[in-house]
A and B are shown apart, each in its own frame.
Chain A
Amino acid sequence: MKRLFVVVLLLLLVALPAQPVAAEIVVNFWNNFSGGDGEFMSAMVQNFNETHPDIRVEVSGVTWDDYYNRLLTSIAGGIGPDVAIMHTTHVPAYANQGMLLPFDEELASRNIPVDDYVESAWTGLNYQGKQYGIPLDVHPWVLYYNKDILGELGLLNSAGEFDPPTSPEEFRALIDKIDAAGHYPLSVEYVGNSWRGWYAFLKQAGGDVFVGNEVTINSPEALETLTFWASIPLAYPELVIGYDESVAIFAQGDAAFHFNGVWVTGYLEQIEGLNFGVVPWPTLFGSPAGWANSHAFVIPVQRGGADKAKMDAVLTFVDWMTENSYMWALAGHIPTRQSVLESPEFKALPYRPDYAAQAETVVYLPQHPNVLEIETALNEEVQAVTAGVKTPEEALKTLEQIIGSLVR
């Protein structure tokens, strides 16, 4: 008996100091956040690591220009990260290649409050009946405005806020008026992803890029909205600029309007002397709709498969991150958990609640394994139209042909 006691004691002594080391699970996490996003993300991960002594999340590869190219080659090589950030639109392409693990089994065996997630963000990650990701945020394009410039022109309401226009004519008249007054009317990345703005209007007018296997892009709705979307840069060619410049001009207080994603809020509110407001994407055609994408957590397929303990750690991490996405909202993004959206601390934030409701009416690009190429085609053709190189008719015809060969 005495001997047994000694043995047990010895075992305990050996086991005790070793335990924390042995139980610490390292989770390798890749994301593509830079600038302000990157700082908020690092702070969140640090916070998680401090509160979870048994898990250590290592953010590696922090950020780079061609994030997805690295992700692709690493997953293909079976050496992908344990968990990664991926845009919702990218998921079908990767899932279709068998590069992502579905979450379904993990969700069934754990207490993940699926109902707490904003429905559109959640179902956007469901591809062919399987859940391939857990959404961290929704980031739509919205309309930022400079209160000083609009105030000077008498375009604000009695509360000092801007009532968004409700028709294309009204919006165009605003642009002309601001320009005539000697201000830079609208800064947006026409040399870049300006197709997102057009896509929003296309959806408002009831059109779409494709439905199932059928291309619907060469429609009267598409022509009308694209013609409108291009009419401003064609009338004011000096507005055709790239992303960095479009942000800089608005941040300097020179531009009256700025179309951009909500991620820029965190940056703009740090600019001293910039008096700005933000409204949801204006509804100029038919019913409300705005372009958006989401950052989601995905689990890449790894060589040798995933072990249970690692999976537990990953799920714990993902759940914690979305539950605490109030911190992520500081960067500007809209959280995906109802509990966060309804929390008093989120509602007390400046700007965010102004556009949070937009999460309900956002539209993602339709799911398709070839959607990445479709997005590139949209990007390039719309750029060609806003640069005046192609007519809307020509671009839509080209798009119909390209997208047709991709969805068939």
Chain B
Amino acid sequence: MSAVRRKMSTGRVFGTLVMYIVGILWVLPVLWMVSTSLKPESMIMEAVPRWIPAVFTLSNYQGVLERAALFKWLLNSVIVAAAATFGVLAIDSMAGYAFARISFPGRDVLFMIVVATLMVPAQVTMIPLFFMLNEATLLNTHLALVLPRLGVAIGVFMLRQFFLSLPHDLEEAAAIDGASRYRVFVQIALPLAKPALSALAIVTFVWAWNDFMWPLIAISTQDMYTLPIGLSTLAGYYGREYGIQMAGAVIASLPVFVVFLMFQRQFIQGIALTGLKG
């Protein structure tokens, strides 16, 4: 028995060690990014790479902020991701509740259609959307980036499942007291759905934040870039100026890092709950 336990514990120790190594391996690229961003241009390409810069400088940060509208891009990203998140929460919770709790003619057919749209890859609708928004003179606006996000059905599906799992008692009691469907939804069901809503909020925000292909198509001027698009141009623009590129990358990842530190648990629960890649 004790032999078994000792064997287990050496296994544990070994496993833990492996996990530490993987963890360190995984942050190395990020550390290298930070390290490079703090080096003077002349010391970035060295035959023997240095993890700790021999000379610290903020000139790359200064350079990237002078030449690229990073904060404007950051603001655009925040506006788009926040608007998409609020929009998705509002319309998806209403639709999810209706599908879960209210019986009305055509419900099952509609739900089938909604679920079926989950199979449609975004690339299929992009080109027609480009022309539609063009007609509506909405290209190169924040709205152009938010709208397509609102049509993603996963939130409806997820919230329907959640509402189905809730006990009926509270809602029935309220209905007997004469509350309307809408009041029951807003005052009883929605507060109960908080965990599901926050999970949906987090994943929606992350997806909208990282959206790449659609903004690449729908946005054409620099002042409207989101961070992913703006940063991708740094690579081409500053060809060999890796210090500038890395400084831009650090600035862009800093807000994400801070938010992640504060809400790590929620992030992970959000992903675990939805389990869908963006």
Contacts and interface: CB of A to CB of B under 8 A. Distances in A.
A and B touching (Cβ–Cβ under 8 A): yes
Interface string A43-73: 0000000000000000011111110011101
Given A73-B139, A74-B140, A79-B220, A66 B134 contact: no
Given A64-B233, A78-B137, A79-B139, A73 B218 contact: yes
A34 B172 CA distance: 67
Given A61-B221, A73-B217, A79-B220, A244 B239 contact: yes
A70 B220 contact: yes
Interface string B63-105: 0000000000000000000000000000000000000000000
A65 B222 contact: no
Most A CB within 10 A of own CB, among B140, B223, B235, B239:
B239
B222 A62 contact: yes
A77 B217 CA distance: 11
A65 B220 contact: no
B240 A74 contact: no
Main secondary structure of the interface of A (DSSP, over half): loop
B232 interface: yes
Contact of A77 (B139, B222, B237): B139
B216 interface: yes
A35 B233 CA distance: 14
Contact of A66 (B218, B222, B236, B240): B236
A79 B221 CA distance: 9
B134 A76 contact: yes
A319 B67 CA distance: 29
Contact of B235 (A35, A65, A71): A65
B140 A79 contact: yes
B236 A78 contact: no
Contacts of B218: 73
Interface in B207-253: 216-223, 232-233, 235-237, 239-240
Contact of A60 (B139, B222, B239): B222
Contacts of A62: 222
Contacts of B233: 64-66
A248 interface: yes
Given A69-B216, A73-B139, A77-B134, A64 B221 contact: no
Given A65-B232, A77-B139, A34 B220 contact: no
A177 interface: no
Contacts of B137: 77-78, 303
A143 to B, nearest CB: 23
Interface string B116-158: 0000000000000010001001011000000000000000000
B135 to A, nearest CB: 10
B226 to A, nearest CB: 14
Interface string A215-244: 000000000000000000000000000001
Contacts of A74: 140, 220-221
Nearest to B133: A77
Contacts of A303: 137
Contacts of B222: 60-62, 64
Contacts of B236: 64-66
A137 B239 CA distance: 24
Most A CB within 10 A of own CB, among B130, B220, B221, B232:
B220
A78 B219 CA distance: 13
Nearest to B240: A244
B11 to A, nearest CB: 47
B141 to A, nearest CB: 10
B140 A77 contact: yes
Given A61-B222, A63-B237, A64-B222, 12 more contacts: A35-B239, A60-B221, A65-B233, A66-B236, A69-B216, A70-B221, A71-B220, A73-B220, A76-B134, A77-B134, A77-B220, A79-B220
- A-B complex: 6 closest residue pairs judged by Cβ atoms: A65-B236, A74-B220, A77-B139, A64-B233, A73-B220, A61-B222
19 contacts: A34-B237, A34-B239, A61-B221, A62-B222, A64-B222, A65-B236, A66-B216, A66-B236, A71-B220, A73-B130, A73-B217, A73-B219, A73-B220, A74-B220, A77-B134, A79-B139, A79-B220, A244-B239, A248-B240
